[in-house]
Structure 1
Amino acid sequence: MELGRDSDTGGQVKYVVELARALGTMPGVYRVDLLTRQVSAPDVDWSYAEPTEMLTPRTTESSMQELGESSGAYIIRIPFGPKEKYIPKELLWPHIPEFVDCALSHIRQMSKVLGEQIGGGQPVWPVAIHGHYADAGDSAALLSGALNVPMLFTGHSLGRDKLEQILKQGRQSRDEINTTYKIMRRIEAEELSLDSSEIVITSTRQEIEEQWRLYDGFDPVLERKLRARIKRGVNCHGRFMPRMVVIPPGMEFHHIVPHEGDMDGDTERNEEDPTPDPPIWSEVMRFFTNPRKPMILALARPDPKKNITTLVKAFGECRPLRELANLFYPNDLTSLAVADINNGKP
Structure 2
Amino acid sequence: MRDLRILMLSLHGLMRGRDLELGRDADTGGQTLYVVELAKALGRHARVEQVDVITRLVDDPAVSPDYAAAVEPLGERARLLRLPCGPRRYLRKESLWNHLDQLVDRILGHLRQQPRLPDVIHSHYADAGYVGVQLSQLLGIPLVHTGHSLGRCKRQRLLDHGRKAAAIERQFNFARRIAAEEEVLAHAALVVTSTAQESSEQYGLYENHQPARTVVIAPGTDTSRFAPPGRAPIPPHVPALVDRFFTQPKKPLILAICRPEVRKNLRRLIAAFGTSPALRERANLAIVAGMRDDIRGLEAAQADVLTDLLLDIDQHDLWGSVALPKQHQPDDIPALYRLAAQRRGVFVNAALTEPFGLTLIEAAASGLPVVATHDGGPRDILAHCDNGVLVDPLDPADIARGLLALVSDGQAWQRHARRGLAGVVRHYTWDAHVDKYLAAVDRVVHRTRKHVRRERAAQRRVAVSMPYVERMLVSDIDNTLIGDRGGLAALVRALRVRPRSCGFAVATGRHLASAVQVLQQARVPLPDVLITAVGSEIHYGPELRPDSGWRRHIQHLWRRDALAALFDDVPGLTLQSADQQSAFKLSFHVDREAAPSLSELKARLRGAKLRANLIFSHDAYLDVLPLRASKGQAIRYLAYKWNLPLRAFLVAGDSGNDLEMLVGDTLAVVVSNHSAELDALRGVEQVYFAGAPCASGILEGMAHYGFAWQPDDALRQEAA
TM-score by length of 1: 0.71
1:205 corresponds to 2:215? no
1:253 corresponds to 2:223? yes
Separation (CA, whole Å) in 1 of partners of 2:33 and 2:234: 28
Report the Cα offset of residue 288 of structure 1.
Answer: 6.7
**Partner of residue 146, structure 2:** 154
Report the Cα offset of residue 107 of structure 1.
Answer: 1.8
Separation (CA, whole Å) in 1 of partners of 2:220 and 2:287: 19
Distance 1:89 1:100, change over 3 A: same
Separation (CA, whole Å) in 2 of partners of 1:202 and 1:320: 39
**Partner of residue 231, structure 1:** none
Map 1:192-341 → 2, pairs under 5 A? 192-218=183-209, 223=211, 227=212, 242-243=213-214, 245-256=215-226, 258-260=228-230, 277-286=235-244, 287=246, 289=248, 291=250, 293=252, 295-311=253-269, 327-334=285-292, 340=321
Map 1:51-62 → 2, pairs under 5 A? 51-56=70-75
1:50 corresponds to 2:69? yes
Task: Look up the SS of the partner of 1:156 in the other structure.
Answer: coil
Distance 1:315 1:292, change over 3 A: closer
Aligned AA (1:212): Y
**Partner of residue 95, structure 1:** 99
Report the Cα offset of residue 246 of structure 1.
Answer: 2.4
**Partner of residue 163, structure 2:** 171
Considering only CA atoms, is the larger Rg found in Structure 1 or Structure 2? Answer: 2
Aligned partners of 2:23 and 2:289 also within 8 Å:
no
Residue 30 of structure 2, aligned match among 11, 24, 31? 11
Report the Cα offset of residue 21 of structure 1.
Answer: 1.2
Report the Cα offset of residue 316 of structure 1.
Answer: 7.2
Report the Cα offset of residue 276 of structure 1.
Answer: 7.2
**Partner of residue 51, structure 2:** 32
Report the Cα offset of residue 281 of structure 1.
Answer: 0.5
Report the Cα offset of residue 103 of structure 1.
Answer: 0.6
Aligned AA (1:255): R
Aligned AA (2:135): L
Report the Cα offset of residue 8 of structure 1.
Answer: 1.4
**Partner of residue 124, structure 2:** 132
Report the Cα offset of residue 142 of structure 1.
Answer: 0.9
Separation (CA, whole Å) in 2 of partners of 1:206 and 1:314: 26
Distance 1:147 1:250, change over 3 A: same
Separation (CA, whole Å) in 2 of partners of 1:247 and 1:328: 31
Aligned partners of 2:192 and 2:216 also within 8 Å:
yes
Report the Cα offset of residue 283 of structure 1.
Answer: 3.4
Report the Cα offset of residue 47 of structure 1.
Answer: 1.2
**Partner of residue 81, structure 2:** 76
Aligned AA (1:248): A
Aligned partners of 2:22 and 2:30 also within 8 Å:
yes
Separation (CA, whole Å) in 2 of partners of 1:87 and 1:142: 22
**Partner of residue 85, structure 1:** 89
Report the Cα offset of residue 315 of structure 1.
Answer: 6.7
Aligned partners of 1:4 and 1:334 also within 8 Å:
no
Separation (CA, whole Å) in 2 of partners of 1:78 and 1:331: 30
Aligned AA (1:252): D
Residue 23 of structure 1, aligned match among 17, 36, 42? 42
Task: Look up the SS of the partner of 1:329 in the other structure.
Answer: strand
Report the Cα offset of residue 200 of structure 1.
Answer: 1.2
Aligned AA (1:89): K
- The answer to which structure has the higher strand fraction is 2
Task: Look up the SS of the partner of 1:200 in the other structure.
Answer: strand
Report the Cα offset of residue 320 of structure 1.
Answer: 9.4
Separation (CA, whole Å) in 1 of partners of 2:154 and 2:234: 44
Aligned residue-pair number: 281
Between stretches 280-289 and 124-133, larger displacement belongs to 280-289
Task: Look up the SS of the partner of 2:156 in the other structure.
Answer: helix
Distance 1:328 1:167, change over 3 A: same
Distance 1:188 1:282, change over 3 A: same
Q: Which runs of 5+ in 2 are unaligned?
A: 1-19, 294-305, 323-344, 346-399, 401-720
Separation (CA, whole Å) in 2 of partners of 1:29 and 1:319: 55
Aligned partners of 1:288 and 1:326 also within 8 Å:
no
Deviation by residue 1:29-82 (Cα, 9 ceiling, x = unmatched): 11111001112121111011111000106xxxxxxxxxxxxxx11111111212
Separation (CA, whole Å) in 1 of partners of 2:276 and 2:119: 50
Separation (CA, whole Å) in 1 of partners of 2:227 and 2:205: 43
Report the Cα offset of residue 300 of structure 1.
Answer: 1.0
Aligned partners of 2:194 and 2:216 also within 8 Å:
yes
Aligned AA (1:136): A
TM-score by length of 2: 0.36
Aligned partners of 1:39 and 1:49 also within 8 Å:
yes
